[in-house]
Amino acid sequence: MIHKLTLQDHATQPHTVRGAGQDVGRSCILVSIGGKNIMLDCGMHMGYNDDRRFPDFSYITQNGRLTEFLDCVIISHFHLDHCGALPFMSEMVGYDGPIYMTHPTKAICPILLEDFRKITVDKKGETNFFTSQMIKDCMKKVVPLNLHQTVQVDDELEIKAYYAGHVLGAAMVHIKVGSESVVYTGDYNMTPDRHLGAAWIDKCRPDLLISESTYATTIRDSKRCRERDFLKKVHESIERGGKVLIPVFALGRAQELCILLETFWERMNLKAPIYFSTGLTEKANHYYKLFITWTNQKIRKTFVQRNMFEFKHIKAFDRSYADNPGPMVVFATPGMLHAGQSLQIFKKWAGNEKNMVIMPGYCVQGTIGHKILNGQRKLEMEGRSTLDVKLQVEYMSFSAHADAKGIMQLIRMAEPRNMLLVHGEAVKMEFLKGKIEQEFSIDCHMPANGETVAVTTNPSVPVDISLNLLKREMALGGPLPDPKKPRTMHGTLIMKENSLKLVSSEQALKELGLNEHQLRFTCRVQLQDPHSDSDTLHRIYTHLKSVLKGYTIQHLPDGTVMVESIVIKVSSCAEDANTKVLLLSWSYQDEDLGSFLSTLLKKGLPSGLC
């Protein structure tokens, strides 16, 4: 029911995700990152009317309050499948921590929640549901976010919102704790439309990218083509004198289509009326007018002359207009023709073949919208009456989700190290997963509901380096560090009170109050050499001299040869005068040279030496 995702670093911190795994409907993801627990979205399932519609919050904490477990809640946008369970969670289950969402989401979300509450409580008569007051209380806990503003939730946890373009105010969030980070996309759209821009994120290289995958197997045709078709169909129908019904949901696509038709009417000088069924919409349009900065380039740039959401041609709809003669276009809710005004109008107009219905989005099985899209021409209505569907039925997908190509594009933009797909159908996600793994060679996960995924991160550990040491190393090497060539340096790593320090060994000794110990290796090498000890020594000296060029080699009067700081002595073996025993001694620092010398001398001396 709730699904879990765990992001693991070396310290194996679980990172949980709950909610909308391989399912479109209810998003709720729990992420544990660097010891912080964050809830991403708190959605509900529209298909259920019982407990199943909300996520099972008891799964998170077996007992105890959510506030103790969760550090914050982030809501990506105002659709109910992303924020519908919010008052339930915060007021009825109990959560007092901060809830983050963008300004438009904060404005529009309560309207939708209230509407939803009205339908469930007032119409269906359910009890044990959140009240208006609870919605208000819940909204008081909301902290608004601005785009690209980094908000410090606490000392370690910071979040930053990016534009997602799905609906007004939709945002992607970048969550960062220390060096670990997660990006959650919510729903997003990579192709700009008539009222919103395209999603954008900078190259933030998160450890994990959690992306929706509603259209994992779709590559949509050019948007313009669809728009043109849509306008052409509407225009033709109007010219014939027909009526066009467009069932929509109150927010989101409806506004895009309104703008599309409005500008088309303006450009073409058309006179036929366009109606929009009232209610929610007017309030929503009001917010669209206010949050101009969240819309696309055209609207942002022209709003000084005229706000695009102040429609000239689109008027409020009244029930009686449906019977008016002549052409008209009506936007009516709800979008799947399952109830309400859109269904009423549909019944009235279905009999005339001049009329048209355009379905702009997804229809759930069982709804009239689904039936007519599958070509059913005779519908059974309640009370055993049948309805002949003579009007034209068109399907125009204007859904604002990223298609497969868009998802890939976002991955390319953000360059994540791991990928996680949610909010989609398992079969389609499987396909996309394959693509991602092949294309970017990164790990891709697709957890089922309630499943926990652990993602291993490879965090970088910051270490302080002492300036003296750095300068000393600089003096040895060139003037500039070359990023292409890593350089080794000697130093001592001190781990002390959660901080790491790299200092020179002398300083380390001093700091820790330790004495320096010398470590010397000694080694005996047997050598067959008929000469006297001193001659052998001299032979060794000349041999080394010829082999090791560029090293200081000394023949000391006390019968030793010094190569740098390595001492070589010769003594004869007690049993056999021809067998000479060489004594090599070197300190730990000269290990490389010392072992080289020992192997060299083990091979014996070349015969040609004098």
Partner 1 sequence: MAAHLKKRVYEEFSRVVQITHEEAPAKKLRLSKPSKSAALHIDLCKATNSTDALQYLLHFARKPVEVESVEGVVRILLEHYYKETDNSVRLKIASLLGLLSKTQGFSPDCIVDDAINTLNNEKSHQVLAQLLDTLLVIGTQLPESPTVRLRLIQMACKHLSDTYFGVRNKCLKLLGCLGTVDAPLTKDNEGAGTSLGDVRDVQTIISDYFGDQDPRVRTAALKAMLQLHERGMKIHEIIYDQACRLLTDDYEQVRSAAVQMVWVLSQLYPESIVPIPSSNEEIRLVDDAFGKISHMVSDGSWMVRVQAAKTLGSMLQVSPHFLEQTLDKKLMSDLRRKRTAHERAKELFTSGEFSSGRKWADDAPKEKLDRNTVYLIASGACGAFVHGLEDEMFEVRIAAVDALSKLARSSPSFAEKCLDFLVDMFNDEIEEVRLQSIHVLREISTHITLREDQLDTVLAVLEDSSRDIREALHELICYTNVSTKECVQLALLELLKNLNKYPTDRNSVWKCLKFLGSRHPTLVLPLVPELLSTHPYFDTPEPDMDDPAYIAVLVLVFNAAKSCPTMPALFSDHTFRHYAYLRDSLSHLVPPLRLPGNGLDLVDSRCSSGSVESAQLFLQQSLNRVSTIQNLEAPGAQELLNFTIRDLQRLGELQMELAGAADFCATYLRCQLLLMKALQEKLWNMAVPLCLKQNVTATAAAQQILEETYKLEFLYGGLESRQVATIHHVRLQAKALQLVLTARTRQGLDPLISSCEKFLQDIESFQRLFLAELPHLQDSFVDTLLELMPRLSSCKPVEMVKILQTTLRQSGLLQLRLPEQIHRATATIIEPTGESDNPLRFTTGLVVALDIDATLEHVQDPQNTVKVQVLYPDGQSHVIHPKPGDFRKPAPDRHRLITQVYLSHTAWTEPSQIEVRLLLAYSSSSTTSLSAPKLGWSDSVDGLQSPEAAVEGTIPFSKPVKVYIMPKPARR
Which positions are catalytic? 212
Query: Which residue, 51 or 482, has its beta carbon nearer to partner 1?
Result: 482
Within 517-546, the residues that bind partner 1 by CB under 8 A are: none
β-bridge pairing 566-572 and 36-40? unpaired
Please return the burial class of 208, using the count of CB atoms within 10 Å of its CB with bins 0-12, 13-18 and 19+: buried
By CB under 8 A, name the one of 233, 283, 289, 298 that touches partner 1: 298
Q: Is 307 among the residues that bind partner 1 (CB under 8 A)?
A: no
Q: Which stretch binds partner 1 (CB under 8 A): 130-138, 187-195, 460-468, 490-498?
A: 187-195
Edge-to-edge, what's the strand order for the sheet holding 243-247?
Answer: 314-316, 274-276, 328-332, 243-247, 356-359, 392-395
Tokens, residue 341: 């005004």
* 332, 345 Cβ separation under 8 angstroms: yes
Q: Is 409 among the residues that bind partner 1 (CB under 8 A)?
A: yes
Supply the angle between the helices 103-117 and 132-140 in degrees, to the nearest 10: 160
Query: Which residue, 232 or 510, has its beta carbon nearer to partner 1?
Result: 232
Nearest to 521 by CA among 603, 571, 583, 581: 583
Q: Which stretch binds partner 1 (CB under 8 A): 79-87, 101-109, 169-177, 401-409?
A: 401-409
Q: Which stretch binds partner 1 (CB under 8 A): 4-12, 377-385, 397-405, 596-604?
A: 397-405
Compose the 195-234 pattern: x for residues touching partner 1 by CB under 8 A, - for all others: --xx-xxxx-----------x-xxxxxxxxxxxxx-xx--
Within 352-371, the residues that bind partner 1 by CB under 8 A are: 359, 363
**CB atoms closer than 10 angstroms to residue 330:** 22
C-alpha to C-alpha distance for 397 and 359, rounded to whole angstroms: 8
Q: Which stretch binds partner 1 (CB under 8 A): 50-58, 77-85, 480-488, 530-538?
A: 480-488
Q: Is 485 among the residues that bind partner 1 (CB under 8 A)?
A: no
Kindly state the DSSP code that residue 244 receives in the 8-state scheme.
Answer: E
Q: Is 296 among the residues that bind partner 1 (CB under 8 A)?
A: yes
| 127: CB partners within 8 A, 6+ apart | 121
Q: Which stretch binds partner 1 (CB under 8 A): 6-14, 99-107, 403-411, 452-460?
A: 403-411
Query: Which residue, 297 or 385, has its beta carbon nearer to partner 1?
Result: 297
By CB under 8 A, name the one of 297, 498, 515, 552 that touches partner 1: 297
By CB under 8 A, name the one of 133, 146, 324, 374 that touches partner 1: 374
Complete DSSP assignment for 293-337: GGS-HHHHHHTTT--TTS-SSEEE--GGGGG-SS-EEEEES-TTS
For residue 233, the number of C-alpha atoms closer than 13 Å in the C-beta half-sphere is: 21
CB of 563 to partner 1, least distance (A): 24
Within 559-588, the residues that bind partner 1 by CB under 8 A are: none
- In three-state secondary structure terms, 520 is strand
Q: Is 412 among the residues that bind partner 1 (CB under 8 A)?
A: yes
By CB under 8 A, name the one of 4, 15, 194, 433 that touches partner 1: 194
Residue 587 backbone dihedrals phi, psi, to 5 degrees: -85, 165
Query: Which residue, 267 or 549, has its beta carbon nearer to partner 1?
Result: 267
Count of residues that bind partner 1 according to CB under 8 A: 61
Residue 53 backbone dihedrals phi, psi, to 5 degrees: -70, -25
CB of 413 to partner 1, least distance (A): 5
CB of 179 to partner 1, least distance (A): 17
Compose the 247-266 pattern: x for residues touching partner 1 by CB under 8 A, - for all others: ----------------x--x
Please return the burial class of 321, using the count of CB atoms within 10 Å of its CB with bins 0-12, 13-18 and 19+: middle
C-alpha to C-alpha distance for 84 and 404, rounded to whole angstroms: 27
CB of 404 to partner 1, least distance (A): 6
**CB atoms closer than 10 angstroms to residue 41:** 30
* Binding residues vs partner 1 (CB under 8 A): 191-192, 194, 197-198, 200-203, 215, 217-229, 231-232, 235, 263, 266-269, 296-298, 359, 363, 373-374, 395-397, 399, 403-405, 408-409, 412-413, 427-428, 431, 434-435, 438-439, 478-480, 483-484
